[in-house]
Amino acid sequence: MHAISSTFESSEPDLTTMLIDVECGKIQLPDFQRDWVWDDLHIRSLIASISLSYPIGAVMLLQTGGDAKFRARPIKGVQLQSDFEPEKLILDGQQRLTSLYLALKSGKPVKTRSEKGEVIERIYYLDMAKCLDPNEDRFDAVVSAPPSRQITSDFGRQIDFDISTPEREFDLGMFPLDAIFDESRYALWRRDHQKRFLDNNNRYDLFDKFESQIIGRFKRYRVPTITLLRDTPREAVCQVFEKVNTGGVTLTVFELVTATFAAADFNLRDDWEGRDGHGGRRDKLHGVEVLAGIEATDFLTCVTLYASYVRHKQTEIPISCKRRDVLRLTLDEYVIHADDVQRGLLNAGQLLARQKVFEAKNLPYQTQLTPLGAMCAALGDRVQQDTVRQKLARWYWCGVFGELYGGANESRFAFDVPEVIEWLEGGQEPRTVRDASFSPIRLLSMQTRLSAAYKGIIALLIQAGSWDFLSGDPLELTTYFDMAIDIHHIFPRAYCERQGFDRNQMNSIVNKAPLTAKTNRSLGGRAPRDYLISIEQSHGVVGSRLNEILRSHAMEPKLLRANDFGGFLQDRAIRLLDLIEQAMGKRISGRDSDEVKEAYGAPLVQGADYKA
């Protein structure tokens, strides 16, 4: 065994020894590993590679007893008489080692899947003659048979290949692979095979060559193995596992932390998902629609951020909630802080509802919930104070319209939490508020709800009123009664295309508003003047009332009734910028720049006086 570094060592144990260690439980799986999933074709290909002495890739193991404590379980097919503490855990190589154990050592049919995904059971053989024929594809020499050891066709009515007795195996030259590492069974099979062909030198010679050239390869096969030493840090083990486990399904941070907590007999998944009819934290959070997008890893990140903030206040250790910090989260920290974070997120949901952000699909930035939840956890009951809510709302909208949460956000989370809380206690503005800026030109490039700021403007419009054209109900109430609401063109698309209007202007947020599906159908692709007259006549809406409704959407009725698209575009942009300024609590610069004049045809400065 040759030590390569202080964190791992390499070796090449023979396959026989590895399978014995797997069977007795010395080598097991960390419980977070996904189940074995290989199908019949993968198994046959693996066996063919071993029979040719081809490399099958290195196996990676972890010595137990170190910082990375994981609950262990034996690989599929292994039955241990009692709980047996393993010496090593498989980080990479589960599919290969499980397939080899099941096919070569378990002594039972392998329950796998066919190429079509059907559940099947298989016993594996080697065709001795094909194995020794250099012109044969070795894959074709690996034969997969059902437990009956009869390969059939015509829905089982026709037996095409029968190896159901030892004599049939001998006659057809089919060696059962589940005998290869069973010494007594192998000796018996070999003796009976030789007895059957006492007078047949060719068959004698065939088996001798097969035993030397093929069986010998299995028994001499060595498996390159990298073993992480027990003093390897837990987060390093988890990182290594994710990097080497490219053939499997990537594990989430939540699953990795679940595995570490399981070693202390705490079931994190049950805490999150609930158990035995009792809802977990997920159900409580998802009961608030705007929080329905929070996943298990999001919650863990929020707990880590809050725990780091609490630790920072006590020790001045920098705040951090990066992936490595989540993996380092201790069970004690989780138990102490999880309830506070859950309450913080629920309070964050209430705060967002007051800002007219009701559903997860309309949430500008899902990621912004992490610092907001941690802030609310730290504030406790203070979050119900009006002055606190106003400042939190201002920080929130600065993040949205400054579009500051679209990339890697952990560093911003780390300074957001302490800076916002200090601001609430009389300190200076947090950098998210100071740094946030919005360009008037940005309105024209906001075309779909993929943009966080686009969603933000819709929420501000609903705050401002946005009454339904037909019923006069606020869209907030319409949403409550689950009527279909979407974002639709004010100057309808069909009308704009007929007029040849600029597509960017036509499709921008400036020409859109939240409307019910019924209201949108009433527009019918017509000019605004025409559909407004139709609404008044067909739905009995008085003109003065309809004007009031239009103004609740930040629109000037006179411009719509005159079909003045250019004037409407300028006026609506001014009104939207006014709403954004009020939400951010700061002026938007460049409203009279040359770029703005060129894009809108006029400066955008005729709005209502700004009030901080």
pLDDT tens digits along 31-41? 777 778 899 99
pLDDT at residue 300 greater than cutoff 70 = yes
Which residues are CB-contacts of 365 (< 8 A; sequence separation ≥ 6)?
399, 400, 405, 406, 452
> Could you report the per-residue pLDDT of 431-446, keeping only the tens digit for each?
999 999 999 999 999 9
Judged against a pLDDT cut of 50, whether residue 17 lies above it is answered with: yes
Q: What is the mean pLDDT of the segment spanning 226-236?
A: 82
Strands 278-279 and 72-73, by their bridges, are unpaired
Sign, Cα dihedral of 139, 145, 151, 154: negative
User: What does the pLDDT average to over 316-340?
Assistant: 92
Sign of CA dihedral 76, 78, 82, 84: negative
The SS3 of residue 511 is helix
Counting residues of the chain whose pLDDT is more than 70, the rounded percentage is: 93
What average pLDDT does the segment 337-366 reach? 93
Q: 151 has which bridge partners?
A: 161
Smallest CA-to-CA distance from 90 within 243, 231, 224, 227 is with 227
DSSP 538-549: HH---HHHHHHH
**pLDDT-based confidence at 116, cuts 50/70/90?**
confident
**The whole model's pTM is what?**
0.70
Q: What are the residues whose beta carbons fall under 8 Å from the beta carbon of 102, sequence distance 6 or more? A: 43, 76, 77, 108, 110
pLDDT digits (tens, 9 = 90+) for 548-576: 999 999 999 999 999 999 999 999 999 99
SS (HEC) of 366-425: HHHHHHHHHHHHHHHHHHHCHHHHHHHHHHHHHHHHCCCCCCCCHHHHHHHHHHHHHHHC
What does the domain layout of the chain look like in residue ranges? 2-109+222-244, 253-435, 442-600
User: Residues 72-101: pLDDT tens digits?
Assistant: 889 999 988 777 889 999 988 899 999 999
The gap from C-alpha 367 to its chain's centroid, in whole angstroms, comes to 14
End-to-end CA distance of the chain: 71
**Two tokens at 584?**
């951010």
Write out the two tokens for 586. Answer: 């700061």
